[in-house]
């Protein structure tokens, strides 16, 4: 019976993609709702091929990338939101994806595919629609992956034109110490309001050590802000170098 449900679900994904192309997003979304009700009965994550994955993304599903920060930095699917599984995933996925009924499709390392699905289900997310089979490797066979630029703390401090630092730590952490001229945009708020930043500036993003800054960069890039750079090691590394000078 489970395999029958999965076959129906896969067929509906393809039908959703066709209706989206032919009749527009609103009609395709109606079919996606039916698809979601089928998925809710699933007790294990559903593998999606690239066509199915992109069909769901086209009709409003958000892409969660649960790989490591290093893997995400090296290449990710455009508009993916990165929350690394090997870190405080449980805390941050709930702060970034506040709508528990938001359709989610995801990318994860083979070893964590089931763990990510089980955690999201445990946390009450009702529309975890599946994961990309073969991950970003299947995507890059047909499309270009995006990447994240990064500088280490010493390189940043030696730049003649440093651009604008965006510090995504909490208000309390920021008040206890920060780099001169840094703007504080706490990560917990970053995805929930519009940010108007001049396009001509370079933005250097830091948190305490690096986990949150990569999440923040994925959100900023998903919002269309492309000229962002990660500061490796975050505030800890910047503070250490400044104290040593």
H helices of the chain, in order, are: 2-23, 25-39, 50-58, 69-74, 89-96, 113-122, 135-140, 153-158, 171-176, 187-190, 211-222, 234-244
What pLDDT, on a 0 to 100 scale, did the predictor assign at position 18?
Answer: 45
Q: Is 43 helix (H, G, I), strand (E, B) or coil?
A: coil
Residues 166 and 224 placed together within one structural domain of the fold: yes
> Can you give the residue range of the structural domain that contains 191?
149-244
Question: CA 55, 117, 74, 213 torsion: positive or negative?
Answer: positive
Q: Pick from 140, 167, 185: which residue ends a domain? A: 140
**pLDDT tens sequence across 109-133:** 999 999 999 999 999 999 999 999 9
The backbone torsions φ and ψ at residue 153, rounded to the nearest 5 degrees and listed phi first, read -60, -40
Are 110 and 156 contained in the same domain?
A: no
According to DSSP, the residues that pair with 149 across neighbouring strands are 229
Q: Which helix (H) or strand (E) holds 130?
A: strand 128-132
On whether both 37 and 77 belong to a single domain, the answer is yes
* 116, 140, 164 - which closes a domain: 140
pTM of the model: 0.85
Same domain assignment for residues 155 and 132: no
Q: What is the DSSP string of 160-195?
A: SS--EEEE-S-HHHHHH---TT-EE--HHHHTTS--
Q: What is the CATH number of the domain that holds 69?
A: 3.40.250.10
pLDDT in tens, 3-59: 445 545 555 555 554 444 444 444 444 445 545 544 555 578 999 999 999 999 999
Residues 172, 221, single domain; the answer is yes
């Amino acid at each position: 019976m489970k395999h029958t449900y999965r076959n129906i679900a896969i067929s509906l994904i393809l039908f959703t993609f066709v209706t989206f192309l032919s009749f527009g997003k609103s009609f395709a979304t109606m079919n996606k709702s039916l698809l979601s009700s089928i998925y809710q009965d699933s007790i294990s994550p559903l593998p999606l091929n690239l066509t199915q994955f992109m069909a769901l993304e086209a009709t409003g599903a958000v892409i969660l990338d649960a790989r490591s920060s290093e893997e995400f930095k090296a290449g990710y699917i455009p508009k993916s939101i990165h929350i690394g599984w090997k870190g405080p995933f449980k805390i941050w996925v709930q702060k970034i994806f506040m709508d528990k009924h938001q359709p989610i499709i995801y990318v994860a390392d083979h070893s964590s595919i089931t763990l990510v699905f089980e955690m999201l289900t445990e946390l009450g997310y009702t529309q975890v629609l599946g994961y990309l089979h073969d991950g970003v490797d299947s995507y890059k066979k047909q499309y270009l992956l995006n990447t994240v630029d990064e500088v280490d703390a010493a390189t940043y401090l030696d730049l003649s034109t440093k651009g604008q630092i965006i510090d995504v730590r909490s208000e309390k952490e920021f008040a206890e110490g920060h780099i001169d001229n840094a703007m504080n945009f706490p990560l917990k708020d970053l995805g929930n309001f519009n940010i108007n930043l001049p396009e001509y500036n370079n933005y250097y993003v830091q948190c305490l050590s690096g986990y949150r800054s990569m999440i923040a960069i994925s959100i900023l890039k998903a919002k269309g802000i492309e000229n962002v750079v990660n500061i490796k090691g975050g505030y800890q590394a910047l503070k250490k170098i400044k104290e040593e000078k």
